[in-house]
Chain A
């Protein structure tokens, strides 16, 4: 992105305050860059270039260094994500128990490829390597919740649950208005 454009993008104030408070609470700021990026991703949802620049200024380190770290680790994302993140395990235990087919089902149901966000903005799906619940293979994690022994049928049921919940929330907020 061009410099002139960047300067104009405003990050929400209250989120910046939260990030600032976190950074101020740390002693070894530079050594904890990864920690800070985790926190920033939690606050902003993703690490946009603006957020990365902001952190580089706050820590007084080159933006290239921040970008270098962000792009190295697969846990960090530079794109906005859907409301829920589905992490489909493609580790070995899940692979031998048919995780490829489960991933395919998720993707077909959402109409996207792995790594993308569904049109309604509700789900982002990505494949990850082992979430340590191999005993329940095949496994996926939706946000922080683990779902085990997945089948083509249960994938559909789980997605429906989230969709229904979303509908209820929307209805509720409409009736409040």
Chain B
């Protein structure tokens, strides 16, 4: 089958309308009941395949042969995977979490056989779907993630039922690339990959370049450790990215697109390949799309584990098959990119926003968010927070709403300490800014940045100096080595931090860190080096006393800095079993006063082996 006109697309959509109705409202009496299982990387790792097998077995045992079990992407509730959605015609959809094999059997029995919702595994979700009463009432709004968890990513008809490829069809029917540029400009969409550059203006810059050979690239390198929104979109809704790239290609005059994806995402790669093949088969990618005369192809290019390749000039070099080293801008890729031709580079989430903007209009999108940051942002909420997962909220939502209302607060009985946004390029946000509405500009003002959307929540037990050292270790290792400030500067900063966390810091180290940081920011070649000092500078600003305590008193109050720990044996608890003596690599434990042992602090290397070996809780860390 081919879809070569908009009316053929509408026909295909009408034929599959019941899929949409059943999954969104349950308002599809003629449909058959179904169970959707979240089968993204997280879901599979949590045992979703076993859940599917258990569901199928239970359905068979209960004679429910017409209930289908379908795989979908992830709804973002990583904390309670595997998750499922039960859709019964005439009833609102119901979500369940923590569905292991046992729960799968019970849900089938209770919900599908007896028609009673299985309360103990019920999952309240926070976005506009499902029954109002079963909603968590909090402010999530899904635009980029709109289809994740609702459509089967391996079935293009599901996407079409959700208005897929309609935006592309409309754009190609109207045949007015400039109008597309205008809509995207007016919507206020800004790049979600970190920089926040207005997408419409970026497209415009490529569009006005002369020449016929142009390219459009999707940056799916997602290098920020602790962020996974792009993976989730690609695994759960790959077609939305393909469709948006074709729209962008048409608007900027490119007939060829590349998706640069990191090799660490095998499932996303597989799903993209399937999606591309299906789109080509229907004629929605390839030659003469929608009979408009517009040709558009997409190719995958694999990354190979280099963080700097997320930077657009480095990415382009890597896509060309050479070492992924960045080059100076200007020229910007819009002028001279892939093979020296005008090239547009956008992030996965940026693309995922494009089809809804075309369908619902610029004003709709511009009506969401803050004055200068429109729409929503997806955040990967991870670390010491109860409901770990993906959340999508309007720009301008406060951190308190995200962490406490949506994220369910801090784990255990600890207190909130800080959140790191912007990954290795960003900084910390502390208690005093919990109520700041977050958008691109407000985050910059407080010394952090939006970044790609990773949000690492930390509690009182996390040492800020240690975290800063962690990030510097990362950037120093990932520095491509081309420019001196980044290659050597970050190494020196790392060495100073290492010294401080070992308890050997001196007061002037803090001055050195600050001046090195400022200098690297000003002189590095690309964004990696220019932002690398941020985690240090930001923690030094907000947690000055903690740095001073490390440097002046040589103490780490959280006990995270191993080098400063003092291991001591409690003489009243020690029974003299010699377990610690046997494991000590430097032989610094001896029997002093029968039966108790003692550690010679002058020799101890703080390796912690004795602490792990003691079965009587007789060794403590001070």
Contacts and interface: CB of A to CB of B under 8 A. Distances in A.
B380 interface: yes
A132 B321 contact: no
Contact of B305 (A68, A74, A97, A135): A74
A37 B44 CA distance: 28
A31 interface: yes
Interface stretch (B162-170, B221-229, B509-517): B221-229
Interface string A117-145: 00000000000111111111101000011
A95 B470 contact: yes
Contact of A132 (B41, B81, B323, B420): B41
Interface residues of B, number: 53
Most buried by A among B78, B222, B226, B323: B226
Contacts of B78: 134-136
A133 to B, nearest CB: 5
Given A69-B323, A133-B41, A136-B46, A128 B305 contact: yes
B228 A135 contact: yes
B431 interface: no
Most buried by A among B223, B319, B320, B420: B320
B263 interface: yes
A62 B228 CA distance: 37
Given A133-B42, A134-B380, A135-B78, A33 B228 contact: no
Interface in B337-358: none
Contacts, number: 138
A3 B18 CA distance: 67
A82 interface: no
Contact of B304 (A74, A91, A92, A148): A74
Contact of A92 (B79, B81, B423): B423
Nearest to A29: B321
Given A34-B318, A146-B41, A130 B227 contact: yes
B367 interface: no
Nearest to A73: B304
A147 interface: yes
Interface in A87-109: 90-93, 95-97
Interface string B418-435: 001001000000000000
B228 to A, nearest CB: 4
Given A32-B321, A34-B304, A96-B383, A132 B462 contact: no
Contacts of B502: none
Interface in B206-233: 222-228, 231
A58 interface: no
A21 to B, nearest CB: 19
Contact of A75 (B305, B420, B458, B467): B305
A57 interface: no
B45 A133 contact: yes
B427 to A, nearest CB: 13
B227 A134 contact: yes
Nearest to B225: A91
A44 interface: no
B383 A93 contact: yes
B264 A132 contact: yes
Interface residues of A, number: 39
Contacts of B190: none
Given A37-B304, A75-B304, A129-B474, A92 B420 contact: yes
A156 interface: no
Nearest to A31: B321
Interface in A6-41: 30-35, 37-38
Contacts of A132: 41, 222, 228, 231, 264-265
B306 interface: yes
A35 B301 contact: yes
Contacts of A137: 382-383, 388
Nearest to A144: B266
Nearest to B76: A135
B41 A73 contact: no
A152 to B, nearest CB: 9
Interface in A62-86: 65, 68-69, 72-76
B458 A135 contact: no
Given A35-B301, A96-B383, A135 B42 contact: yes
Contacts of B44: 146
B384 interface: yes
Contacts of B231: 132
B306 A34 contact: no
B425 to A, nearest CB: 12
A97 B383 contact: yes
B250 interface: no
A165 B231 CA distance: 31
A65 B320 CA distance: 13
B139 to A, nearest CB: 21
A129 B310 CA distance: 14
B456 A93 contact: yes
A38 B458 contact: no
B307 interface: yes
A125 B606 CA distance: 24
B321 A135 contact: no
B324 interface: yes
Nearest to B424: A92
Contacts of B382: 92-93, 134-135, 137
Interface in B109-153: none
Interface string B392-421: 000000000000000000000000000010
A34 B467 CA distance: 33
Nearest to B389: A135
Nearest to B462: A96
A135 B386 CA distance: 11
B302 interface: yes
Most buried by A among B223, B225, B454: B225
Given A132-B228, A135-B380, 15 more contacts: A32-B321, A68-B323, A73-B305, A73-B306, A75-B304, A92-B470, A93-B454, A129-B305, A130-B225, A130-B227, A134-B78, A134-B228, A135-B81, A135-B389, A137-B382
Ranked nearest first, the 3 interchain pairs of A and B with the lowest CB-CB distance are A135-B78, A91-B225, A73-B304
24 contacts: A34-B318, A34-B321, A37-B304, A72-B306, A72-B325, A73-B305, A73-B324, A74-B304, A75-B305, A90-B225, A92-B225, A92-B382, A92-B456, A96-B458, A96-B462, A129-B307, A130-B223, A132-B41, A133-B228, A134-B225, A134-B226, A135-B81, A137-B383, A146-B41
Interface of A: 30-35, 37-38, 65, 68-69, 72-76, 90-93, 95-97, 128-137, 139, 144-148
